[in-house]
């Protein structure tokens, strides 16, 4: 494993409930009845309490120590405060949280009640991510967001007054009706609110969101005909890098920017391939094979680097109907090596070739270096000081770069922006 904290676990808790479904959203979230909240949280607690037994059954290492917790969604802040309290108690009953554990919760601007804010603080949440997407009210509303800029600014003031200063704001480049001028307006507003972390995503056009499907069909619903061109979205992304760097928010990953010391420790865990447990709807886990059982998986490589990836159901009714085990797949060293490239290249620091050789051996790494050389010649990668990084052009074409490191059968598994 790379990075520090390999002997600690991160926990992701999926809360799929939303007040409205955004047009661009391709996550397993939605507008579900409030009556589902209690049974859903009860199921989460069951999964947390049964995680150790499950891990023993599938024979993976399962650290009790936890250094990051992330409540994502969906809109976790829509839960009743007592349900968040129950979740917090359950996590602490089953795991040993570091005293300085990073505990993040996603919130929708304008949907953070005073009682929930109190519960957030009591639960030890010390980092909040606001899904703003645009500071231009017309753009936010047309994409399904229910807030305006004033609500965002008010929530940031309330969070800071409550003692939570580690704050992130999400923006999306490419929303319907967005222009370079309105994008500059959002970037200026982002800088002005002074958050120490920002995430900037380029609009994903795929069949899993209403807007994406409409764009692919060439239709006009959800203002799909007003989605900016690919070239314009690329320029928006470049502007974001320029403006945020000028404001002291350094790009440390393709979509993420932070002041020093405010990088998302939980998300770094994914890109550095450190172990995490996911509970809830459509949640993923990645855990290392217990050493005493590595030899039991010869068909999957049987080596010291075998990892188990597990994914829960993505249908809420099925998830609540009856407890079921996550779907699992063992990742042998060859697959791990592929992931090490396309996850590591997401980070601005890039990939350490020496670390890969130490972990996987030269037989896997050296053929990949031929790919690196070709991509360097294409201006997509830069190699120097035993590290390989994306160039500015490579960041814009990162999905294409990542696929170059994958076997054809696995090419579609590369992480989206």
CATH number reported for the structural domain that contains residue 398 in this entry: 1.10.10.920
Shared domain check, 149 and 16: yes
Sheet holding 197-202, edge to edge: 250-253, 256-258, 197-202, 166-173, 127-133, 96-107, 65-73, 9-15, 276-279, 284-288, 307-311, 327-331
pLDDT higher than threshold 90 for residue 325: no
C-alpha span between 31 and 179 (Å, rounded): 30
- Do 112 and 29 fall within a single domain? yes
Asked whether residue 247 is assigned to any structural domain, the reply reads yes
Instruction: Please tell me whether residues 226 and 144 are part of one structural domain.
Output: yes
The per-residue pLDDT for 324 is 80
Closest CA to 260 of 363, 369, 166, 124: 166
Q: What's the rounded mean pLDDT across residues 23-31?
A: 71
User: Between 2 and 198, where is the model more confident?
Assistant: 198
pLDDT tens digits for 191-222?
A: 999 999 999 999 887 776 777 777 787 887 77
Residue found by looking up tokens 């994406």 in the block: 212
Residue 360 and residue 232 in one domain: no
Q: pLDDT class for 3, splitting at 50, 70, 90?
A: very low
Q: Which of 163, 154, 252, 157 is nearest to 200 (CA)?
A: 252
| pLDDT higher than threshold 80 for residue 22 | no
Same domain, 376 and 263: no
pLDDT of 21: 67
Kindly give the pairing relationship between strand 381-384 and strand 387-390.
antiparallel
Same domain membership, residue 345 and residue 227: no
Give yes or no: residues 47 and 177 share one domain: yes
Of 267, 299, 316, which residue is a domain's last? 267
| Residue 268 predicted with pLDDT over 90 | yes
Which of these three, 218, 247, 267, is where a domain ends? Answer: 267
Residue 294 domain flag: no
CATH value at residue 215:
3.20.20.70
pLDDT confidence of residue 408:
53
Q: Is position 4 within any domain?
A: no
Count CA atoms within 13 Å of residue 190 on its CB side.
36
Q: What angle do CA 262, 392, 238 make, to 5 degrees?
A: 70
What range defines the domain where residue 344 resides?
Answer: 334-406
Selection from 27-41, 239-253, 398-412 with the highest mean pLDDT: 239-253
Q: Are residues 149 and 244 in the same domain?
A: yes
106 and 237 belong to one structural domain: yes
Residue 1 resides in a domain:
no
- Quote the number of domains for the chain: 2
Asked whether residue 296 is domain-assigned, the answer is no
Residues 255, 343, single domain; the answer is no
pLDDT score at 416: 37
Domain identity same for 263 and 374: no
Is residue 234 one of the residues assigned to a domain?
yes
- Split at pLDDT 50, 70, 90, the class of 6 is low
pLDDT at 28: 66
Q: Is residue 359 over pLDDT 80?
A: yes
Of 403, 29, 26, 73, the residue nearest 206 (C-alpha):
26
Q: CB under 8 Å to 340, separation ≥6 — which residues?
A: 2, 273, 351, 356, 359, 360
Q: Which two tokens stand for residue 189?
A: 């507003």
- Cis omega before residue 79 (within 30°)? no
55 with 176, same domain?
yes
Alpha helices per DSSP H over 218-347: 230-246, 265-271, 316-321, 333-344
Task: For residue 99, tell me if it sits in a domain.
Answer: yes
Let me know if residue 293 belongs to a domain. Answer: no
- 249 or 297: whose pLDDT is higher? 249
pLDDT tens digits, residue range 64-107?
A: 999 999 999 889 999 999 999 999 999 999 999 999 999 999 99
Using a cut of 0.85, tell me whether the model's pTM lies above it: yes
Which of 267, 290, 315 marks a domain boundary? Answer: 267
* Residue 37 predicted with pLDDT over 80: yes
């Amino acid at each position: 494993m790379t990075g520090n904290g390999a002997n600690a676990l991160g926990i992701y808790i999926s809360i799929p409930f939303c007040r409205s479904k955004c047009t661009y959203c391709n996550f397993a979230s939605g507008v579900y009845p409030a009556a589902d909240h209690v049974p859903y949280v009860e199921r989460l607690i069951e999964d947390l309490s049964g995680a150790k037994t499950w891990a023993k059954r599938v024979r993976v290492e399962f650290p009790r120590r936890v250094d990051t917790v992330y409540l994502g969604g969906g809109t976790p802040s829509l839960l009743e405060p007592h349900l968040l309290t129950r979740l917090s108690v359950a996590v602490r009953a089953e795991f040993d949280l570091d005293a300085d554990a990073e505990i993040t919760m996603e919130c929708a601007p304008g949907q953070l009640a005073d009682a929930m804010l109190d519960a957030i603080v009591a639960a030890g949440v010390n980092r909040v991510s606001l899904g703003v997407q645009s500071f231009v009210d017309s753009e936010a509303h047309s994409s399904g967001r229910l807030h305006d800029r004033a609500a965002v600014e008010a929530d940031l003031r309330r969070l800071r007054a409550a003692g939570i200063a580690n704050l992130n704001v999400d923006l999306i480049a490419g929303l319907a009706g967005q222009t370079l001028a309105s994008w500059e307006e959002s970037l200026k507003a982002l800088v002005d609110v002074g958050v120490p972390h920002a995430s900037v995503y380029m609009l994903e056009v795929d069949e899993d969101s209403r807007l994406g499907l409409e764009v692919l069909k060439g239709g006009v619903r959800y203002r799909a005909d007003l989605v900016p061109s690919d070239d314009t979205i690329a320029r928006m992304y470049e502007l974001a890098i320029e403006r945020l760097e000028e404001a002291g928010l350094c790009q440390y990953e393709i979509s993420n920017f932070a002041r020093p010391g405010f990088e998302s420790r939980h998300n770094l865990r994914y890109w550095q391939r450190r172990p995490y447990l996911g509970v809830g709807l459509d949640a993923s886990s990645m855990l290392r094979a217990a050493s005493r059982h590595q030899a039991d998986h010869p068909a999957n490589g049987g080596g010291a680097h075998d990892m188990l990836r597990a994914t829960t159901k993505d249908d809420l009714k099925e998830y609540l109907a009856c407890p079921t085990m996550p779907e699992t797949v063992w990742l042998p060293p060859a697959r791990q090596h592929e992931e090490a490239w396309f996850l590591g290249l997401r980070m601005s620091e890039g990939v350490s070739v020496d670390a890969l050789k130490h972990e996987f051996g030269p037989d896997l790494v050296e053929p990949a270096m031929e790919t690196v050389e070709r991509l360097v010649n294409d201006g997509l990668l830069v190699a120097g000081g035993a590290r390989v990084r994306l160039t500015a052009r490579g960041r814009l074409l990162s999905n294409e770069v990542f696929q170059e490191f994958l076997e054809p059968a696995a090419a579609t598994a590369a992480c989206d922006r």
